[in-house]
Amino acid sequence: VLITGVCSVFFPVMNCRDLLFFFWGGGSSVKAFLMCFHPSFRIKAIESATKEDDTKWLIYWVVYGIFSVAEFFSDIFLSWFPFYYMLKCGFLVWCMAPTASNGSMMIYSRIIRPFFLKHEAQMDRVVKDLKDKASETAGTIAHEEKVVSLGILQEELKDR
């Protein structure tokens, strides 16, 4: 009776069987459900006059991005744990909670920011090296394209 009451109050469109499948059977359902709340919060942050909420949502997306990368590599193992999707749902709700000290702010200030500040010079060097290599590769490809194009043009002129 308690579960039925909770189901009808918080999820009036779903019955309890659907709710159980929602949390235990379909992890993508949880993610899709949470994603419907994101746009409204982001639009409100963009349209507000203060910078505070913009920073808060940028921090959330940094934490969510790192979480998504980590989950990409570990999801195949974590999905076998009971209540994994429910815990993931709780984690994401905690990260986007509309409080001053939500999960994303705590994770960013205690883990991500110190790590970034400690390794910022190394990361900048890696990014610069990758940019230089990409630029060099693009230059090589452009040069090769010119050589091939000139070869094709020369062959066509010979055939005439």
Residues 29-57 have pLDDT tens digits of 555 555 555 555 556 666 777 777 778 88
Q: Report the pLDDT value the prediction gives residue 10, as an integer from 0 to 100.
A: 46
User: Of 141, 147, 143, which is closest to residue 155 (Cα–Cα)?
Assistant: 147
More confident residue, 120 or 157: 120
Amino acid type, 105: M
Residue 136: pLDDT band (50, 70, 90) is very high
Q: Report the pLDDT value the prediction gives residue 23, as an integer from 0 to 100.
A: 54
Q: Report the pLDDT value the prediction gives residue 137, as an integer from 0 to 100.
A: 95
Range 136-147 average pLDDT: 92
pLDDT of 70 strictly over 50: yes
Residues 73-132 have pLDDT tens digits of 998 888 888 888 888 888 988 998 888 788 999 999 999 999 999 999 999 999 999 999
What phi, psi does 132 have (nearest 5°)? -65, -45
Range 58-76 average pLDDT: 90
User: What are the structure tokens assigned to 91, written together?
Assistant: 């984690």
CB 96 within 8 A of CB 31: no
CB 14 within 8 A of CB 72: no
Residues 6 or more apart whose Cβ sits within 8 Å of residue 27: 79, 84, 85, 88
Q: Report the pLDDT value the prediction gives residue 55, as an integer from 0 to 100.
A: 84
Where does the chain have alpha helices with state H?
2-10, 16-20, 27-35, 38-47, 52-78, 84-95, 103-107, 113-159
- Helix (H/G/I), strand (E/B), else coil: 12: coil
Report the distance separating Cα 78 and Cα 87, nearest Å. 11
Range 58-79 average pLDDT: 89
Segments making up each domain of the chain, as ranges? 37-159
pLDDT of 25 strictly over 90: no
